[in-house]
Amino acid sequence: MLLRFASRVLLVCLAVLLPVGCSVTDTSGGSSTATVKESQLPAEAQQTIALIDRGGPFPYAKDGVVFGNYEKLLPEQKRGYYHEYTVKTPGSRDRGARRIVTGQGGEIYYTDDHYKSFRTVLR
């Protein structure tokens, strides 16, 4: 009886704590990242993705540089596979913490906490 109650409480806690619109998926590298629909991203992130699709021009000098994946949160790939782009943060005096990271295979990842976590962008 206690075990059944505890499992129900755990399920309710998970349902409340998981962000709406996000799910966990297994990527090719065996690591898991949450997902988010492109339409659910902040407007600035959607604008950055549109700039990437058009090939620029980009507003920040570091846009398009190689992303090293030193945190190992994205699937492991050879150096140069990933590139990062700044997502404008309103009110920030510098580049802020938000980035789009793209992979050569067409993957798009979004982070709003300067690489502490990533969400795979679903188009």
Q: What tokens does 52 get?
A: 């990437």
pTM of the model: 0.75
Q: Given 44, 83, 107, 114, which residue is catalytic?
A: 114
Catalytic residue among 38, 44, 84, 107: 84
Q: Which ranges of 18-122 does DSSP label H, i.e. alpha helix?
A: 43-54
Report phi then psi at 47, rounded to 5. Answer: -65, -40
Q: What is the pLDDT of residue 20?
A: 41
Q: What pLDDT is attached to residue 33?
A: 81
Does 114 qualify as catalytic in the annotation? yes
Does the pLDDT at position 97 exceed 60?
A: yes
pLDDT digits (tens, 9 = 90+) for 63-95: 999 999 999 999 999 999 999 999 999 988 899
Q: Which CATH class is domain 21-122?
A: alpha beta
Q: Clarify whether 83 is annotated catalytic.
A: no
